[in-house]
Amino acid sequence: MGQLIKADMRDLAAESRQYLTFTLGGEQFAVGTLCVKEIIEYGQVTAIPMMPPSIRGVINLRGAVVPVIDLGARFGGPVTAVGRRTCIVILEVQHAEGRQVLGVVVDAVNEVLEIAPADIEPPPAFGTHIRTDFILGMGKVGGRFVILLDIGRVLSVDELADLASAAQHADEQP
C-alpha cells in the first residue's frame, strides 16, 4: 500500500491528472478517474444484516455482487440520505491479493476536472472532518478546495472486513 501511495504522489507531481468530483454532505470530494469504473443511479441495494452503518449492502452489477459503502458514514458522519441525485460510484481498488470492485454512495456527481500538480496542496494536519490519512491532497478548483481522496485508504478492504466482522460480534453479544 505504501508503495502505491508513493506511486500516486509521483504521478501527482509529474503531470496533471483527471479527477471525478462529487458532493457529499455539502462538501466537494474528488477521486482519480483511473480508478472509477462507472457511475450508476442509486437503487436495489440489498442490506446485509448485522453490518455497521458504513457498509450499506450489496448490489448486482451485471451479475457481479458489489459491496456498497456509505462514504458519509465511513467518514464518521450520518448515513447518506437517498435523494433524487444520489448515485453509486463504482471504483476499483488495489489490495494485497488483487483488485476489489466497490461502490460508494454519494449525494451527487459533479464533473471530471483536470487538476495540475501545482494546484494541489498537502492535506492540513487537522480541520477537515475526515481522517487525514484518507486525504491525498487538497485541490484548488475555481477558488475552492476539493478534497482529493486516497481511495486505497478509504476503501481499504482489510479495514472494511474488520469493520464487518467486528460489528457482527458486537451485535451478537449485547
Partner 1 sequence: MNLDDALHTFIAESLELLQQMEEALLHIEQAPDDPDTINAIFRAAHTIKGSAGLFGLDGIVAFTHVAESVLDLVRAGRLHFTEELAALFLQVCDHIGVLVKRAAEHREPEDSVRQNGTHLLEWLNGLLDDDPARDATAQPPATCPAETTANVERAADTVGTDHWHISLRFGQDLLRNGMDPLAFVRYLATLGRVQHIVTLTDSLPGADDMDPESCYLGFEIAFRSDADKATLEDVFEFVRDDSLIRILPPHSRTAEYQQLIQALPEDDMRLGEILVRCGTLTEAELAEVLRSQAHDVPAAPVGQLLVEQGIVHPPVVEAALKKQQQAKENRQAANNLIRVDAGKLDQLIDLIGELIIAGAGASLVAQRAGNGELMEATALLSRLVEEVRDSALTLRMVQIGSTFNRFQRVVRDVAKELGKDIRLDISGGETELDKTLVEKIGDPLTHLVRNAMDHGIEPAEARLARGKPAQGLLRLNAYHESGSIVIEVADDGGGLNRERILRKAIERSLVAEGAALSDAEILNLIFEPGFSTAEQISNLSGRGVGMDVVKRNIAALRGSIELDSTEGLGTTVRIRLPLTLAIIDGFLVGVGNAAYVVPQDLVVECIELDCEGGHDYLNLRGEVLPFIRLRNLFDIEGAPPRRQNVVIVQFGGLRAGLVVDQLMGEFQTVIKPLGKVFGRIRGIGGFTILGSGEVALILDVAGLIQHLASQRHEAHPHTFLKESL
**What residues pair up with 95 in beta bridges, in sequence order?**
98
Check if the beta carbon of residue 1 is closer than 8 Å to that of residue 97. Answer: no
Helix (H, G, I), strand (E, B) or coil at 95: strand
DSSP secondary structure code for residue 62 in this structure: T
Q: Which of 64, 70, 65 is nearest to 82 (CA)?
A: 70
Stretch that binds partner 1, among 33-41, 59-67, 81-89, 128-136 (CB under 8 A): 59-67
Q: Does 64 bind partner 1 (CB under 8 A)?
A: yes
**Quick one: which segment of 32-40, 52-60, 79-87, 126-134 binds partner 1 (CB under 8 A)?**
52-60
Give, in order, the Cα–Cα distances in Å from 71 to each of 50, 102, 119: 18, 11, 25
Kindly state the cell numbers that stand for 41: 443511479
Closest C-alpha among 99, 114, 102 to residue 148:
114
Q: How far is the CB of 45 from partner 1 (least distance, A)?
A: 8
For residue 104, state whether it binds partner 1 (rule: CB under 8 A).
Answer: no
Decide: is 168 part of the binding site for partner 1 (CB under 8 A): yes
157 near partner 1, judged by CB under 8 A: yes
In what helix (H) or strand (E) does residue 145 lie, and over which residues does it extend?
strand 144-149
For residues 55 and 90, which CB has a smaller minimum distance to partner 1 in the complex? 55
Among 79, 82, 165, 170, binds partner 1 (CB under 8 A): 165
Q: Are strands 98-106 and 64-70 parallel, antiparallel or unpaired?
A: parallel
Q: If binding is defined by CB under 8 A, does position 161 make contact with partner 1?
A: yes
Residues 20-49 that bind partner 1 (CB under 8 A): 44, 46-49
- Closer of 84 and 169 to partner 1 (Cβ): 169
Residues that bind partner 1 (CB under 8 A): 44, 46-51, 55, 57-60, 63-65, 67, 95, 97, 100, 102, 157-158, 160-161, 164-165, 168, 171-173
